Structure formats: structure tokens, C-alpha cells
């Protein structure tokens, strides 16, 4: 209601005790939340592993009491747990991880919106939540099709995460140390979008000049101009989080580059090109991925190392193939954990570490 002061969260745990008990009774605990070694017909919730699930606010439904809202410090600890423990689960598929993490991060954003929080602490929670979501979605790869993780829903939730964070930035209570990074991530995730570019170009010139945002603008320009060599050269240099954000556009960029090569090189007799050149130009993970890409677009191969551009053979059917993206994404953690990356605790040149809320 207008004029009503928002409450402050009081729940000290990742999942309120009342919700844990209710979901335990109803048999709605995710296996990530069950007490280890628990036996019996009704699994028991582990208070150290259970995480509040998202529940859509219903019209006319009263706001949850402060005892069921987690304060920013607990929300930050929850995101950190999801990044360090759940996202790195070795005994679960990436699709299962992404589905669980996306739902729990949605609940984090909802808890934050229902209470009074300072700008700095709210932004820190939203930044770490968004970084975690970008990483788990990028790790899906071919698993994005089918299974428990709905790619369209995940994309919607990433966009909602950007929307929430950028609205806090727009309040003008900064400066926020990682704002240029996350504005750049927004542009990279929406590569080629005229609306996203327009929004970024409305930002202050000093912010646009910061290296993360300046680089994102360069990537967007290369993508729009079809400058394949420059685009993939820039993509190779992006840090891990930026690579996660742009990964969803890599397949399309490769398809466009291959189409341009086909238009330039295709002849009735066929011109050849070494697959090694394709691997380098498109930052592919190796000759095998280059062969798969060419065959998916109707281009014949000679032996194992050469592609032939024959007129009339290039074809586009369905979505571009989903590659593994080890060169462009996976290998860029360079020994750091996902928790270190999303919390900005790894040593990254030009990026200030966020300060915890006081």
C-alpha cells in the first residue's frame, strides 16, 4: 500500500522453518535439500541444504511476515551456497542443477523486492544472483533441449534478473563497483538487439568508457557488422562471466560466418578450405566440431581435414548446432571456482571486488 514502510526480513535460514516442515510433510523436497543418508518413505529436510522455493504472489494474498523473509545478508549467503554447492554438484545433470538454481534465485529476487533494503546490499545480492544464473544456464549446452530445464523459461528469468538489477542501478544511489561489468553483460546477453544497445548508449559516458562496457560495445559492433575475424578475436579475450552471457549467440554468429564464406567461395566445381582454418576463425573446439558444423549445413568434406564449398550445397535447417564452447567459455575459469567468480573474489584485472553489506 502507498505510504506503507516495507518490512525488514528476519528469517535467519535459507528456507523458513515453516516452509521446510510443510514441504517435508507434502513430500515436495528436492533431492538437493534432503538430509544426507536419510532413509525411509518420507525424506527429511536438511536445514543446511533446504532453500526457499519460489511461490508466485497471488492477488489478495497477504504479504509474508518478516519471519519468512530472508534479509539481504542471508540472501547473499543463499546465493553463495547455490553457486558453491549446488552448481558444482557432481551427481546431478546440468539441466537439473539449472532448474533448481533458477527457481531458488527467483525466490531470492522476490524476497528482496518484498522488504526494505539498502541500495548497496540489494545490488550486491542481485549481481551475484544474476552471475550465478548466467553461469548455470551457459553450462547447459546441448542439455538445454528437453529435460527439467526449460530454455525459454530460463531465458525469461535471466532477463528478469537483468531488469531487477538495472532498475536498482537507475535509482542513482551508486556508484556500484561492478555496474559497468553487469551493464556489459546485459548487452552481451542481448547481442544485436537495437533496444538493448539504445539503453546502454543512454548510460553516462564515463560508465560506457569503463573497460567491461567498452569491450561489450565492441563485441556488439563486430556482431552487427558481420566482422567475423574481429568478433571471434574479441570473444576469445572475454572473461568467464562475459563469455557465459554471450554464449547463446555463438551458434548464430558461426552460422552467419559460414553463410558468408559459402557466398564468397562456392563454385560449380567447389573450392576447398582446411578445417584448421575454420577452427581458428570460428574459435571452435577442434576439427570434430568443425566437421559437425559443416555437415549440419550441407557442406561436403574431403577426407578428415577439408571442407568443399559447392554452389547450391549450403543449407540452413532449424537452429544452429549447439557447440561445447570449451575454448570460448569452459576453459576460462582457469582454476577458479564459480563461487569466486560470482562473488568477484578471483583476481580479475580492472574489476573491483564488491564490499559486503555493513
Domains and their CATH numbers in the chain:
8-35+44-53+67-173 (no CATH), 249-309 (1.10.10)
pLDDT at 136: 95
Cell numbers 562456392 correspond to 266
pLDDT at 57: 80
Beta-carbon contacts of 184 under 8 Å, excluding residues fewer than 6 positions away, are 212, 213, 215, 216, 217, 242
Q: For the segment 316-338, what is each residue's pLDDT rounded down to a tens digit?
A: 988 888 778 999 999 999 889 99
Cell numbers for 54: 519460489
pLDDT at 143: 56
pLDDT at 1: 39
* Contact status, residue 268 vs residue 243, Cβ threshold 8 Å: no
Cell numbers 559486503 correspond to 356
pLDDT at 65: 92
pLDDT at 62: 83
**pTM for this structure?**
0.91
Is the pLDDT confidence value at 349 over 60? no
Q: Where are the alpha helices (DSSP H) in the chain?
A: 17-26, 72-81, 94-113, 119-138, 151-170, 179-189, 194-201, 205-208, 211-225, 228-237, 240-246, 250-265, 275-281, 287-296, 338-342
pLDDT at 301: 94
Distance CA 229, CA 283 (A): 10
Distance CA 109, CA 104 (A): 9
Cell numbers 553483460 correspond to 185
Distance CA 280, CA 275 (A): 9
Q: Which of 2-11, 149-158, 185-194, 254-263 has the lowest mean pLDDT?
A: 2-11
When pLDDT is averaged across residues 18-30 and rounded to a whole number, the result is 94
When pLDDT is averaged across residues 186-209 and rounded to a whole number, the result is 97
Region for 114 from its dihedrals, namely left if φ exceeds 0, alpha if ψ lies in -120 to 50, beta otherwise: alpha
Amino acid at each position: 500500500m502507498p505510504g506503507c514502510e516495507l518490512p525488514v526480513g528476519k528469517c535467519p535460514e535459507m528456507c523458513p522453518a515453516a516452509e521446510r516442515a510443510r514441504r517435508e510433510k507434502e513430500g515436495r523436497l528436492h533431492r538437493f535439500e534432503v538430509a544426507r543418508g536419510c532413509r525411509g518413505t518420507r525424506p527429511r529436510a536438511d536445514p543446511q541444504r533446504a532453500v526457499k522455493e519460489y511461490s508466485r504472489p497471488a492477488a489478495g494474498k497477504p504479504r509474508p511476515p518478516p519471519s519468512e523473509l530472508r534479509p539481504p545478508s542471508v540472501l547473499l549467503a543463499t546465493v553463495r551456497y547455490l553457486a558453491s554447492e549446488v552448481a558444482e554438484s557432481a551427481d546431478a545433470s546440468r539441466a537439473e542443477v539449472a532448474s533448481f538454481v533458477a527457481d531458488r534465485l527467483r525466490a531470492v529476487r522476490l524476497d528482496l523486492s518484498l522488504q526494505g533494503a539498502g541500495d548497496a546490499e540489494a545490488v550486491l545480492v542481485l549481481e551475484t544472483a544474476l552471475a550465478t544464473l548466467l553461469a548455470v544456464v551457459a553450462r547447459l549446452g546441448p542439455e538445454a533441449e528437453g529435460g527439467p530445464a526449460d530454455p525459454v523459461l530460463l531465458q525469461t528469468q535471466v532477463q528478469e534478473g537483468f531488469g531487477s538489477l538495472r532498475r536498482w542501478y537507475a535509482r542513482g544511489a551508486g556508484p556500484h563497483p561492478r555496474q559497468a561489468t553487469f551493464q556489459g553483460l546485459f548487452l552481451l546477453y542481448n547481442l544485436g538487439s537495437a533496444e538493448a544497445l539504445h539503453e546502454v548508449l543512454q548510460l553516462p559516458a564515463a560508465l560506457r568508457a569503463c573497460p567491461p562496457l567498452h569491450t561489450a560495445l565492441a563485441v556488439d559492433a563486430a556482431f552487427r557488422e558481420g566482422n567475423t575475424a574481429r568478433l571471434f578475436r574479441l570473444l576469445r579475450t572475454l572473461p568467464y562471466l562475459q563469455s557465459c552471457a554471450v554464449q547463446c549467440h555463438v551458434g548464430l554468429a558461426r552460422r552467419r560466418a559460414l553463410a558468408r564464406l559459402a557466398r564468397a567461395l562456392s563454385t560449380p566445381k567447389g573450392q576447398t578450405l582446411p578445417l584448421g582454418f575454420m577452427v581458428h576463425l570460428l574459435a571452435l573446439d577442434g576439427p570434430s566440431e568443425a566437421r559437425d558444423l559443416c555437415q549440419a549445413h550441407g557442406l561436403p568434406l574431403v577426407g578428415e581435414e577439408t571442407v568443399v564449398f559447392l554452389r547450391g550445397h549450403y543449407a540452413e535447417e532449424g537452429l544452429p548446432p549447439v557447440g561445447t564452447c570449451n575454448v570460448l567459455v569452459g576453459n576460462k575459469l582457469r582454476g577458479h571456482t564459480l563461487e569466486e567468480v560470482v562473488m568477484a573474489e578471483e583476481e580479475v584485472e580492472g574489476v573491483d571486488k564488491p564490499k559486503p553489506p555493513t
